[in-house]
A = this chain, B = another copy of it.
Amino acid sequence: MSDAPTACLLIIGDEILSGRTQDSNLHYIGQRLAAMGITLKEARIVPDVAAAIAEALNAVRARYTYVFTTGGIGPTHDDITTASVASAFGRNVIRHPEAVRRLVAYYGRQVNEARLKMAEVPDGPGVELIDNRVTAAPGYRIENVFIMAGVPSIARAMFEAAAPSLTRGDPVYSNSVDATVREGDIAAELSAIQDRYPQASIGSYPFMRDGALGTSIVARSTDKAAISAALNEVADMMRAKGAAPMMGELA
């Protein structure tokens, strides 16, 4: 898995940091990237401040195979992502002719200067539009960075439009086994199982359900057989503790 492509998600928006809006794009993009064998190594959430966006973008685009950004590409004054991205790349902002064409076709007589701001991209090479089948205003790719909308339905549409262009790794599978047993009562045995299956990453997540404390053990790996073998050992160990483990389905 060490040769797998890597990614970072840069979530842009005051409304996420203020707690007004619950981000849901990380959840979707994290799952999709895992299925494509691309390791999401980090996510950062930054405010609508040009210097903060540009600094974070330059830090992560040098470090990961791909960077995805969400938010800040709408028509209003607080949408400053493209200006910030252009600044990070040391480029000017231009209107992309094909993006203008799409906006004019979609909005007709209601096109105006604010909406045409959504046709702006950084100047120079390596810029390609990302289709938006929801509201026409495109995202774009610049080198290894994918600029997408923050509205979840549009972010998803843009991610899926960009997905075929991404280099994939071996897909990462996962499965889980849950039981009403407490983490602290299985920790030693679980650690020994992890040691026997270094090709799987085993995580332990406590939960409370119907008033009972339980633990969900999740194994993730590119090796389906290792997941199955490791989780069978976990289930046997849970049964030996008197619990009734429930195995999930490999995904």
Please give the residue numbers on chain A whose beta carbons come within 8 Å of chain B beta carbons, in ascending order: 14-24, 26-34, 40-48, 52, 56, 74-79, 107, 110, 112-115, 117-118, 151, 153, 172, 174, 183-188, 190-191, 194, 201-206, 208, 218, 220
Assess whether B19 is in contact with A34, with CB atoms less than 8 Å apart. yes
Contacts known (A44-B43, A187-B114); A14 close to B203, Cβ less than 8 A: yes
Closest to A202 in B: B78
- Return 5 A-B CB contacts under 8 Å, by A number: A23-B26, A42-B46, A42-B56, A43-B44, A77-B202
The interface residues of chain B lying within 8 Å CB-to-CB of A110 are 184-185
Assess whether B45 is in contact with A52, with CB atoms less than 8 Å apart. no
| Distance of A167 Cα from B53 Cα, bound (Å) | 27
**Cβ of A210 to closest chain B Cβ, rounded Å:** 15
Assess whether A17 is in contact with B46, with CB atoms less than 8 Å apart. no
The interface residues of chain B lying within 8 Å CB-to-CB of A107 are 184
Assess whether A24 is in contact with B21, with CB atoms less than 8 Å apart. no
| Distance of A27 Cα from B21 Cα, bound (Å) | 7
Closest 8 A/B residue pairs (Cβ)? A19-B30, A114-B187, A19-B31, A76-B204, A77-B191, A43-B45, A115-B184, A75-B184
Contacts known (A74-B206, A76-B187); A40 close to B18, Cβ less than 8 A: yes
| Distance of A172 Cα from B47 Cα, bound (Å) | 15
Assess whether A203 is in contact with B78, with CB atoms less than 8 Å apart. yes
| Distance of A41 Cα from B56 Cα, bound (Å) | 12
| Distance of A32 Cα from B19 Cα, bound (Å) | 8
Assess whether A45 is in contact with B19, with CB atoms less than 8 Å apart. no
| Distance of A205 Cα from B208 Cα, bound (Å) | 35
Assess whether A183 is in contact with B23, with CB atoms less than 8 Å apart. no
**Cβ of A35 to closest chain B Cβ, rounded Å:** 9
The interface residues of chain B lying within 8 Å CB-to-CB of A16 are 26, 30, 43
Seed contacts A17-B41, A110-B185; 18 additional CB < 8 Å A-B pairs: A14-B201, A16-B30, A16-B43, A17-B26, A17-B42, A18-B40, A18-B174, A19-B32, A20-B30, A23-B23, A42-B46, A45-B45, A48-B203, A77-B187, A77-B191, A77-B194, A79-B204, A114-B188
| Distance of A191 Cα from B74 Cα, bound (Å) | 13
Assess whether B41 is in contact with A76, with CB atoms less than 8 Å apart. no
The interface residues of chain B lying within 8 Å CB-to-CB of A52 are 41-42
| Distance of A191 Cα from B31 Cα, bound (Å) | 37
